[in-house]
A and B are shown apart, each in its own frame.
Chain A
Amino acid sequence: MRIDSLQQLSTWLDDAGIGLLELRGPGVLLRLGRDAADAAAVGERGAAVPHQERGAQSRGVAVNAPSAGVFLHSHPMQSSPLAPVGTQVRAGAPIGLLQIGALLLPVCAPRAAVVTGLRVPHGTVVGYGTPLVDLDPD
């Protein structure tokens, strides 16, 4: 990871009020944190899901957080969730939002699918790679 990316990430975490970020990659584990005490508590929710883990159905796809942030089921201006369980969604459609400070990033369906599960409650702070939504692709 490059130094300028680290600085960028630190800025983002600060702005979002996130205390800990955990990133996993092949042979790499990176933890960026402000307080060491946070590490244990976040370990469970923030860990990336290994690719070989799947939901009960072998066809099911988990959409993971593309970034650290606060996962939202609905847009802050609206009350109805973007993609409740059972919804048919198009490829590329936003099925949730990641709030990072003032920004809202889309969590998009990789392909047309039916939403079969929402893994974390609305308003949860998540780390990069956290599984957020289960989809059953068409």
Chain B
Amino acid sequence: MSSKMDGGGGGGMGNACYVYPGSPATPGRVTPDVIFRRGIYMNGSMRMDDGNSVPIWGFTDLNAGQGQMDQMGGGSFPSAAMRVTEGQIVHTELTVNMMWAHTVHHHGIEPSQENDGVGHLSWDVMGGTYTYQWRPMHAGTYFYHCHTNTPLHAEMGMYGGLIVDPKPTPGDAPGTKRAFYNGPKYDVEAIWAADEIDPAWHNLNWAAGTCGGDVGLNNLNPKYFIITGVDGKTSALTHPGVAVTMTLGQTLLARYICAGFHPQKIDFGGLTVDVVASDGRPLPAVWKTGSIDAHSAERYDCIIKPSSRGTWTVTVQFLHWRTGAVMGTARTRINVV
């Protein structure tokens, strides 16, 4: 397709403007190797370490029995990760009711225009189902997120991890895990999606600001700093879904996703890590470092093999995009036993 969906935009859609509803048939649709079925929840919440709760939106996993656009919650935060193997044909089936519009953009995956999930260049799914068809050709760390009114929808939590595993490297024993084809092996894996939350944004309507008016989407002043859906103030230090426990001799692959909008600096607490890939592409040479400066949506794949038992605290600093001031930190741990 080389033309745009000009209809539907600008005139308003209820209280929404510049959304482009559509859910046509998928061009060139074939039988896939993998199917993800996603619905929407917009009534979730996340409880913070200070006892307060913040409203959260996300994608439900319909294959896992989570709610079908029923507003009953039930979705996880972050949304359920997608995991595929390079070369597989994948369908992401997104179903949205008539009350709002959303898309799935598989960030870093580079499909056709129709399957890229960018509303103004294709369509926003509203009152229907669209099946995104794609075939990942590069192993690595990605994430998916809604690309409708993106500042708000991504801030609200509409994202999840997306891991593309490599094809097996010849000679590998079954179950061998590598970062990419013929790349470094690992035993233990962590997905650290570091994000910041400004509660002032979290009571807005899904279409807030799209017709104009100042709803503050230029000004993100986060109060909470989280790692993969867990408050980084205290909980992420020990949460089993975030903190790593490994045995001496094992190799960790830490997949770091800068999932917020402000720059970040991740520090590995004195460990030197081997950065082997970024944004789903192997680096030409390993980059050894103790910290990484990153900005929104960058990913870094870090191989970590501590040489002794102990505990290392990994700290993510969130830096204001204009002043560079540290707005807050989120921490987790690597425990080697």
Q: Is B truly associated with A?
A: no
Residues of B within 8 A of A (CB): none
Residues of A within 8 A of B (CB): none
